[in-house]
Amino acid sequence: MDIRNIAIIAHVDHGKTTLVDQLLKQSGAFRDHQQVAERAMDRNDLERERGITILAKCTSVVWKDVRINIIDTPGHADFGGEVERILNMVDGAIVLVDAAEGVLPQTKFVVGKALARGLKPIVVVNKIDRQDARADEVHTEVFDLFAALGATDEQLDFPMLYASGRQGWADEELEGARKDLSPMFDLVLRHVPAPDLDRDAPFAMVASILDYDNFLGRVLTGRVEQGRAKVNMPLKVLRQDGTLVETGRLTKLMSFRGLDRVPVDEVEAGDIIAIAGLTDATIPDTVGSPEITEPLKAIPVDPPTLTMTFRLNDGPLGGREGKKVTSRQIRDRLFREIEGNVAIKITESPESEAFEVAGRGELQLGVLIETMRREGFELTIGRPRVLTRTDEATGEREEPYEEVLVDVDEPFSGVVVEKMSLRKGQMQDMRPSGGGKVRLTFSIPSRGLIGYHSEFLTDTRGTGIMNRLFDGYKPWAGPIAGRVKGSLISSEDGVAVQYALFSLQDRGVLFVDPGEKVYVGMILGEHSRENDLDVNPVKEKKLTNIRAAGKDEALLLTPPRRMSLEQAIAYIEDDELVEVTPTSVRLRKRYLDPHERKKAERRTESEVA
């Protein structure tokens, strides 16, 4: 059967997964009356809860006797490593652009990678049914982007469709018939080339996706780059440097049919397949016939820019809420993660029973932590730090910068500009974007954005939208002011009581409720002043045998501030940690004992001096 391989790439929330739903439905991939969840490709619990795609996934449809393998990719910049690997498997790409939001940072990132691979993308202006759609302007923006990224004349002559993924139609004309997605299917068949690969050479493929199956074990997905594969054929696996990893047998060979992986007996060059039967092969190894001597080339992935320390939970409540609490279990889980997630790097930390985990951003590492806590792990997490480097030519220290695009209501633009400048951000552009909104573009050090997102939402009353993209390394920008206010720290072990918390709420904002377990060194709230303050949250009211003239006044507590995992990680300072368990997220000081904290402060002060 004739084959086409395409990836759907776009900025986050521009409608990729919803469009794939409609492509599956209209191609007949679902049976009549089959119950299918919305965003069927987002099968992961975290993907459904957050409404974003985290992992790239394959599906396949048949249109006019041609099999179209479709790969749905993440849109968020933190998961760009998934997109980079996937582009190695396809011969074409559909670039989705929101008809109102237009070209955003991640659009630039994914289009740049696709053009560099030599792909000739199809551009789809999606969500054309929005009231604030501006199709002609977006068309111009896309053309300008392609030109700025050095597209060839052939790539600049891109075909274009106007579509509504939710309503399930696409058309070559802005005011066309708007019936269904057949114009998109037909354009893919016309514009995307069939794989031009050698079917008679020895079998070889590059592993691009790795996942685990309870019955099959390790399952590797990739495109067959040459030759044919059959069930039970012998295999060998080569690293990128040519080292032999293992030999084995192809026990299970699967191809994609709709949302399912279906067993097949034989596949040939060009098809996207999943194989089982290997124990050590990982991304981006070459899997092939025994006669293969050289590994296939794989696209290098951009390096991480942010690191966090994952530590054993050594607090007084450690081991009570999770099942996996030892440093060996944490280590095994982290090293298993990097087998399938090439954008993450793990190194042993100088601290005992701790690991440095480097990734693309707070969201990517936050998703890993959330996944681990749901698996029963207990951890303590340190403050995120950027990974710096030294310029070999000048010897100058450099740090990662990001390009930030902010869409905000005009009255809030002043406070955003002020906060970004305090964090060493420099405004590159400011223009009206319609509907009383302004679009601001900044260049800012990545560390300036740590912890800013929740503050940004507060400043803009929840109406602002911030998009960011790694923009390369630039000279160190100097010190950036951190959190202004100090912490309220528990001086006692026990259970927080209402009487004590009532008297403490005048000192700042509390993070705990009455009845919660607390311990020495745990952070109970944010102090209203700059300094840290040790307080007693377990102090009971002394009872006497003297009757009061009237009843005690009702002790009314202000509801505590509850932080999500990402908010907690962004909130802490260098001398603080986030304690993460399957049921709790707590904040604590790195050194629980107040005397140890004082010693650490003096050491830090002497080092700075």
- Which residues belong to CATH 2.40.50.250 in the chain? 487-608
Give CA–CA dist 586/594, Å, rounded: 18
17 is in an annotated binding site: yes
- Which residues belong to CATH 3.30.70.240 in the chain? 389-475
**Closest to 308 measured CA to CA, from 347, 342, 278:** 347
Task: Specify the 3-state DSSP secondary structure of 123.
Answer: strand
345 is in an annotated binding site: no
15 is in an annotated binding site: yes
Among 49-53, 245-249, 315-319, 577-581, which is the least confidently predicted range?
Answer: 49-53
List, for residues 250-292, the tens digit of each pLDDT value: 888 888 877 778 888 888 888 888 888 888 888 788 899 999 8
pLDDT bin (cut points 50, 70, 90) of residue 16 is low
List, for residues 465-512, the tens digit of each pLDDT value: 887 777 888 999 888 877 788 899 999 999 999 889 988 988 999 999
List, for residues 94-125, the tens digit of each pLDDT value: 888 888 888 877 778 778 888 888 888 999 99
- Which residues belong to CATH 3.40.50.300 in the chain? 2-191
127 is in an annotated binding site: yes
Task: Specify the 3-state DSSP secondary structure of 2.
Answer: strand
| Segment of 82-91, 126-135, 310-319, 465-474 carrying the highest mean pLDDT | 310-319
Sign, CA torsion 32/34/36/41:
negative
Please tell me what DSSP assigns to residue 297: P
Give every CB contact of residue 350 below 8 A, 6+ residues apart in sequence.
none
Written out in words, the top-level CATH class of the domain with range 389-475 is alpha beta
CATH code given to domain 2-191: 3.40.50.300
Q: What is the DSSP string of 510-578?
A: E---TT-EE-TTBEEEEESSSS-EEE-TTPPPPP-SSPPSSPPPP-PPPPPPP--HHHHHHH--TTEEE
- Which residues belong to CATH 2.40.30.10 in the chain? 204-288
515 is in an annotated binding site: no
CATH architecture group of domain 204-288? Beta Barrel (2.40)
For the whole prediction, is pTM greater than 0.95?
Answer: no
The better pLDDT of the pair 86, 39 is held by 86
102 is in an annotated binding site: no
282 is in an annotated binding site: no
Mean per-residue pLDDT, 149-156: 88
5 token code pair: 């391989």
128 is in an annotated binding site: yes
List, for residues 332-354, the tens digit of each pLDDT value: 999 888 877 777 889 988 888 89
- The CATH homologous superfamily to which domain 487-608 belongs is bipa protein (2.40.50.250)
List, for residues 516-570, the tens digit of each pLDDT value: 999 999 999 999 998 889 999 998 887 766 655 545 556 788 889 888 888 888 8
18 is in an annotated binding site: yes
108 is in an annotated binding site: no
Say which residue the tokens 């368990």 belong to: 581
pLDDT bin (cut points 50, 70, 90) of residue 74 is low
| Segment of 34-43, 360-369, 441-450, 457-466 carrying the highest mean pLDDT | 441-450
